[in-house]
Amino acid sequence: MVGVLFALALVAAILWWRRAPDTDPAPDAPVPKIAPAPEPTPGLVARGRRDALRDRIVRRLDQRERAAAARPAPAASTSKPSSMPSPVPPRPPGNLRDHLGGREALLKELNGDFMPLADECIEQAQERNPALTGMLAIDVEVIADEDIGAVVEAAGPSERNEVPDPQLLECIRESAYSLSLPPPPEGSGRDRFMITLPIAPPDAGAAVP
């Protein structure tokens, strides 16, 4: 009897062993290669700095506005708001003129940082359309903090603009948005001015101020 039970147990063990699943680990799946991230372009880096600076200015202005709201309102001023500057006549490249006065620091930044970008925008536009001429007039609004600086909040064609080229205007707008500017003489707040760039035919030499 004992031998029979032993034989049955042996047969059951053999059957279980044959039906047992293969527990060998599966081979490792190949690990996909991840392409390295592209290096940021100078334009994106400049725009990123501008956006970060704008965020700081907006937060600072919000703090100033809340503090001013807690104080009594000042007496109404009788001074007239400053008028927009008149169009700038043709002049050498990178030599914007100050028609308001006291904006030397702003002109230095515009001539050094904005004008090379504007020249490139105009050259690309004249490659698309060699007959492109006229006065390019751009209204610019900046938001500023006297301790941090200023950035362009809005830029678009002025009522005096004579060059309604959508691609050129978009290129000029994006170039303006990449700027970091000094605050206006009045300190913190918003400031507006106009930039005028006369565009001559390519064969006559682009008279870009």
DSSP 124-161: HHHHH-TT--EEEEEEEEEEEETTTEEEEEEEEE-TT-
**Cα–Cα distance measured from residue 53 to residue 136, given in angstroms and rounded to the nearest whole number:** 28
Structure tokens at 172: 């000029």
Looking from the CA of 156 toward its CB, the CA atoms found within 13 Å total 3
pLDDT for 141 equals 93
**pTM of the predicted model as reported, rounded to 2 decimal places:** 0.57
Q: By C-alpha distance, which of 184, 110, 176, 173 is closest to 144?
A: 184
Q: Are 179 and 191 in contact (CB under 8 A)?
A: no
Give the residue carrying structure tokens 């751009």. Answer: 138
Give the distance from CA 103 to its chain's centroid: 24
pLDDT tens-place string over residues 32-50: 555 565 666 666 666 777 7
Mean per-residue pLDDT over the chain, rounded: 74
Answer whether residue 88 shows pLDDT above 60. Answer: no
> Do strands 149-157 and 134-145 pair parallel, antiparallel, or not at all (unpaired)?
antiparallel
Residue 24: the pLDDT is 52
pLDDT for res 26 = 52
C-alpha angle 75-80-84 in degrees, rounded to nearest 5: 140
pLDDT at 3: 56
- What is the mean pLDDT of the segment spanning 110-115? 90
What is the average per-residue pLDDT within 117-134? Answer: 93
Tokens of 122: 């105009």
CB-based burial label for 70 (10 Å; 0-12, 13-18, 19+):
exposed
Cβ 115 vs Cβ 93: under 8 Å: yes
How confident is the model at residue 160, as a pLDDT?
Answer: 94
Q: Which residue has the higher pLDDT, 184 or 127?
A: 127
Q: Where are the domains of the chain?
A: 43-69+87-204
Q: Say whether pLDDT at 17 is over 70.
A: no
pLDDT value for 208: 40
User: Which is nearest to 161 in space by CA: 139, 188, 190, 130?
Assistant: 139
Summarised one tens digit per residue, pLDDT across range 171-180 is: 999 999 998 8
Report the percentage of the chain scoring pLDDT > 90.
Answer: 29
- Kind and range of the H or E run holding 117: helix 115-128
pLDDT at 57: 74
99, pLDDT greater than 50:
yes
- Tokens coding 185: 């003489």
Is pLDDT of 139 > 90?
yes
